[in-house]
Amino acid sequence: MPIENHDLVHEFPELKDEIHQLKMDDAHFKKLFEEYNHLTKEVEKMEQEIIPGTTAEEEQLKKQRLQLKDTLLGYIKANKKAASQA
């Protein structure tokens, strides 16, 4: 059973507006965002035992999700910085 909600907006509620704007304006960000959501759903299904998977497979998906979250956060911060300098 999942302990937390790992949706990106729940992870970074203070960046909700930036996340929404990037999803609307930036195709690359939107693709990464969708991939993050897909990984999150897959992990949740494994945690809930809806789909079978080993602990190692679940941990690998979690690592991929974490790397993607770091990439998305870097993307958001860079965009925010660029917007504040404009």
pLDDT in tens, 3-57: 577 888 888 999 999 999 999 999 999 999 999 999 999 999 998 888 888 999 9
Q: Of all residues in the chain, what percent are helix, strand and coil, respectively (each to 5)? A: 80, 0, 20
Number of domains in the chain: 1
Residue that has been written with the tokens 């693709």 in this structure? 31
Q: Would you say residue 55 lies in a domain?
A: yes
pLDDT given for residue 82 in this prediction: 85
pLDDT given for residue 35 in this prediction: 96
Mean local confidence (pLDDT), 60-78: 95
Q: Would you say residue 2 lies in a domain?
A: no
Residue count (the chain): 86
Q: Would you say residue 14 lies in a domain?
A: yes
Q: Would you say residue 3 lies in a domain?
A: no
Q: Would you say residue 25 lies in a domain?
A: yes
Residue 40 sits in which domain range? 8-85
Q: Would you say residue 22 lies in a domain?
A: yes
Rounded Cα distance between 52 and 33, Å, is 25
Q: Would you say residue 80 lies in a domain?
A: yes
Rounded Cα distance between 35 and 71, Å, is 12
Q: Would you say residue 77 lies in a domain?
A: yes
Confidence band (pLDDT; 50, 70, 90) for 63?
Answer: very high
